[in-house]
Amino acid sequence: MNKVKLTDKILQLKKEKKALILAHNYQRPEIQDIADYIGDSIELSRKAMLEKDAETLVFCAVDFMAESAAILNPEKKVLLPTLGARCPMAQMLTVDEIKRAKTHYPDAPVVLYVNTLATSKAYCDICCTSANVVEVINSLDADTILFGPDRNLAEYAAEKTGKTLIPIPEWGFCPTHVLFQPEDIAVLKQQYPDAVVMVHPECSAETRRAADFVGSTSKMCHYARESTAETIIVGTEEGLLHRLRKENPEKRFIVAYEGAVCPNMKLTTLERLYAALKEEKHVIKVPEATAKHARTALEKMFLVKS
């Protein structure tokens, strides 16, 4: 089936099934272009919560984002077009690891990045995203905090808040964002001396130090809009550049390292999106016993002003 025909069929099915197509900022351009909403890791679930008429949410993203959508929208059917679209970082933190850390730091609250599985979220005090991590940490009446699974994000939040964040596990990381190196940024800066650099907080401390701005994907979109720079070097998954270019056609965006692709985000194709809608697969369900605790941790995060 050609692309135009496929797009038409997806739009037709979407209408029939009262479905919403939600796409993370790292999705392929053609998926972003057909989506009802494009956003960061939690914006999409929140948007879906306001869409009372939608019966089905097709989540073009990775496992933990679809799980969050299912937890926050229990009355809707949540579909993940590719079951194998898993965030490797979310898999790095197990419940056993959280329990083990708690035995060493029994008084420390547990803050988990939304890039975790629901089973882990059920064991935390509050969740955070890379957009609100500083505000969430500052909202806690504690100076020592257990934080997982991203060690780089833990370091970033510790720098910003002056608090002690104990990473769980000690070594958690995003395999895509660790590929950004300050050396590559330095080469690009020589080529484009007037460019500004923005990177995701999942990048290493050395890479963050080479940047003018550090923020989540939604914050980078905002920074790019407000910036007067004509050229912006971007240290995050290359999918974001499609949105940045569409929203800012007069600016030039250069990815800081072309090999930094999240293979899991790219598993969703138009063909798989079509099959997901047609066959109503793969339904993501979180058992209520787990969902109840994970929901509380997510809702606490929503109460923090950011």
From the list ligand SF4, ligand 13P, none, which binds 217 (C-beta under 5 to 8 Å, kind-based)?
A: ligand 13P
Q: Which residues bind ligand 13P (CB under 6 A)?
A: 25, 40-41, 115, 129-130, 174, 200, 202, 216-217
Binding string, 61-90, against ligand SF4, x = CB under 6 A?
A: -x------------------------xxx-
Pairwise CA distance, residues 298 & 291, whole Å = 10
Phi, psi of 165 (to 5 degrees): -110, 120
- Taking the least distance from each CB to ligand SF4, the nearer of 43 and 237 is 237
In the list 43, 67, 184, 237, the residue contacting ligand SF4 (rule: CB under 6 A) is 237
**Residue whose token pair is 């929208």:** 73
Give the bridge partners for 39, in sequence order.
24
Segment lying near ligand SF4 (by CB under 6 A), choices 140-148, 171-179, 268-276, 298-306? 171-179
From the list ligand 13P, ligand SF4, none, which binds 130 (C-beta under 5 to 8 Å, kind-based)?
A: ligand 13P
Pairwise CA distance, residues 278 & 151, whole Å = 40
Residue 40 in the binding site for ligand SF4 (CB under 6 A): no
Pairwise CA distance, residues 47 & 191, whole Å = 40
Give min distance, CB of 113 to ligand 13P, in A.
Answer: 9
CB atoms near residue 306 (< 10 Å) = 14
Segment lying near ligand SF4 (by CB under 6 A), choices 66-74, 121-129, 169-177, 269-277? 169-177
Q: Omega before 74 cis (within 30°)?
A: no
CA distances from 53 to 126, 285, 295 (A): 29, 20, 22
CB atoms near residue 293 (< 10 Å) = 17
Residue 93 in the binding site for ligand SF4 (CB under 6 A): no
- Taking the least distance from each CB to ligand SF4, the nearer of 26 and 54 is 26
In the list 21, 93, 126, 174, the residue contacting ligand SF4 (rule: CB under 6 A) is 174
Cα 65 to the chain's mean position, in Å? 7
